[in-house]
Amino acid sequence: MKVLVVGSGGREHALCWTIAASPLCDALYCAPGNPGIARDAECVPISPEDIPALVAFSKQQAIDLVVVGPEGPLAAGLVDRLGEHGIPAFGPTAGASALESSKAFTKDFCARHGIPTAGSRTFEELDGALTHLRRCNLPVVVKVDGLAAGKGVTVAASLETAEAAVRAAMEHRSFGPAGDRVVIEDFLQGVEASFFALSDGTTTLPLAAAQDHKRAGDGDTGPNTGGMGAFSPPPAVDATVSRRIMETIIEPAIAGMAAEGRPFHGVLFAGLMLTDDGPKLIEFNVRFGDPECQVLMARLRSDLLPALLACADAHLRHVDLRWSDDAAVCVVMASRGYPGPYRSGSPIRAVEDAESDPEVMVFHAGTASDAAGALVSSGGRVLGVTATGADVASARSRAYRAVERIDWPDGMFRTDIAATGAEVTP
């Protein structure tokens, strides 16, 4: 098979690393990729947003499967355009991507299909939203409807903060059209977890659960980021909780999308709050999480490629995936300043030293090669230092030992990734 992976982050590196190991894979391309991905795939300089160029490349190379990493091209219809040319793709159509690209759609969808989630109301007018806020209990959660690169959610402890979030979206239009509608939702109390399942439109296959760390600073302080680290499995999601998540959230969602004429193919990522009242949906994403994907791929023991293909051609019922009982931990090394302004182009050394441990894998995200071919930083999140171990505690200490070996003075990382998971591990 000839496979094209779309994207250039740590998630796409983990996918390329896994797919490259498949005996079914004859040729692997990544658009646009990065220097780490270049070890596993041939990088082609096409932007994930350039749909016509991705379609043309796939036709020209007779690609057998396109695996789409990020949500942007999914919501923009990449899978639909590829389908028009007979090119199979892993990922949902634009219509099915509404589960991520519109929070208002998703809230209504959950209500239609009895999927447990926080109570909410959606507003299209500033005045209505502000009036409603005054009647809400605090804390309250304000979300812009559309895609906002993880920045569209405000958990507000005060009315002033909540009002400012509504005004930012609807009055100052800080999120553009993504903020035309705003969802105001009840605050859920509990433990957060991410759960992943594959679907071919009708059949579902649970993957595994993970927990990520969204805040920039230790102790969950500082601004929200794309994710500063992740670990799997999270102790709160045992077999019973997994079954309940499948039965009350994933399966009704896949059946509901099929019934509404938007069958969902790809990976459904449920961001959950495990409450006293059972698991409740915080949000759906229609792609793998980053850095959750890195820890999932580190724990996967089966060939991923047939499973991805089965999602595209509706054969998922024939697929079974095995997972290691080992745990995996990913510590993200980011440019100092991220998620605010940071500088790019600073040299990163000794990544090979970190990788000398066979249980360590360093996934690249914002990296580049300078004119002399040396590795330099080129983004906010730069490396995902991932380690496996018999339990979360040992994977965690191995990951941090590897982080310490990397010579990158401009980098920063959280020191408490997976700390809670490590404490509770038996």
What is the β-pairing status of strands 381-389 and 360-364? Answer: antiparallel
Instruction: Name which of 68 and 184 has its Cβ closer to ligand AMP.
Output: 184
Give least dist CB 139 to ligand AMP, A: 8
Residue 7 binds to ligand GLY (criterion: CB under 6 A): no
Residue 286 contacts residue 222 (beta carbons within 8 Å): no
Give least dist CB 290 to ligand GLY, A: 4
Residues 94-153 that bind ligand AMP (CB under 6 A): 118, 141, 150, 153
Interface residue with ligand GLY, options 64, 200, 251, 292 (CB under 6 A)? 292
425 binds, among ligand AMP, ligand GLY, none (CB under 5 to 8 A by kind): none
Cα 36 to Cα 390: distance, rounded to the nearest angstrom: 26
Give least dist CB 153 to ligand GLY, A: 11
Judging by beta carbons within 10 Å of its beta carbon (0-12, 13-18, 19+), is residue 78 exposed, middle or buried?
buried
Stretch that binds ligand GLY, among 53-61, 133-141, 289-297, 367-375 (CB under 6 A): 289-297
Interface residue with ligand GLY, options 33, 289, 366, 384 (CB under 6 A)? 289
Interface residue with ligand AMP, options 128, 222, 271, 278 (CB under 6 A)? 271
Cα 376 to Cα 139: distance, rounded to the nearest angstrom: 42
Residue 229 binds to ligand GLY (criterion: CB under 6 A): no
Cα 154 to Cα 285: distance, rounded to the nearest angstrom: 18
| Residue type (1 letter), 405 | R
Cα 377 to Cα 343: distance, rounded to the nearest angstrom: 8
Stretch that binds ligand GLY, among 138-146, 170-178, 287-295, 297-305 (CB under 6 A): 287-295
In three-state secondary structure terms, 97 is coil
155 binds, among ligand AMP, ligand GLY, none (CB under 5 to 8 A by kind): ligand AMP
Interface residue with ligand AMP, options 40, 185, 292, 326 (CB under 6 A)? 185
Residue 278 binds to ligand AMP (criterion: CB under 6 A): no
Residue 155 binds to ligand AMP (criterion: CB under 6 A): yes
Find the helix or strand (DSSP H, E) in which 385 lies.
strand 381-389
Instruction: Name which of 133 and 392 has its Cβ closer to ligand GLY.
Output: 392
Extract the tokens encoding 113. Answer: 């299909």
Integer CA distances (angstroms), 118 to 147, 187, 318, in order: 19, 7, 35
43 binds, among ligand AMP, ligand GLY, none (CB under 5 to 8 A by kind): none
Give least dist CB 187 to ligand AMP, A: 4
Number of H helices, E strands in the chain: 15, 22
Give least dist CB 100 to ligand GLY, A: 9
* Strands annotated E in 108-179: 120-123, 140-144, 153-156
Cα 294 to Cα 231: distance, rounded to the nearest angstrom: 9
Cα 419 to Cα 413: distance, rounded to the nearest angstrom: 14
Residue 222 binds to ligand AMP (criterion: CB under 6 A): no
Cα 154 to Cα 132: distance, rounded to the nearest angstrom: 16
Q: Which residues of this protein are in contact with ligand AMP, per CB under 6 A?
A: 118, 141, 150, 153, 155, 185, 187-188, 192, 214, 271, 282-283
